[in-house]
Amino acid sequence: MGCAVHSMLSAGRGYTTLEFKLNFVRPLTDAVPLVRAEGKLIHGGKQVATAEGRLVGPDGKLYAHATTTCLIFDRR
């Protein structure tokens, strides 16, 4: 999710986490050979950005999902 937020920033801008919510939907065991992490920007504003993330197995099953709210600021 941080990468999704970071990807929309212009040079000289930074971010930090304001809020983070994680939901585990099913257990991730060694029987699951591989998972894919997906991150998506929901909103990229001037001062606040929100993003969501998902962990998905090779069969399309959802293992976890999360959301974050980030504060955007000037690094100068």
| 23-50: pLDDT as tens digits | 999 999 999 999 999 999 999 999 999 9
CA separation for the pair 65, 50 (Å, rounded): 14
CA separation for the pair 20, 50 (Å, rounded): 10
Count of structural domains within the chain: 1
Q: What is the pLDDT of residue 31?
A: 92
Q: Answer whether 28's CB lies under 8 Å from 55's CB.
A: yes
CATH number for the domain harbouring residue 26: 3.10.129.10
CA 35 to chain centre: 15
Domain with 28, as residue range(s), is 2-74
Mean per-residue pLDDT, 61-69 = 98
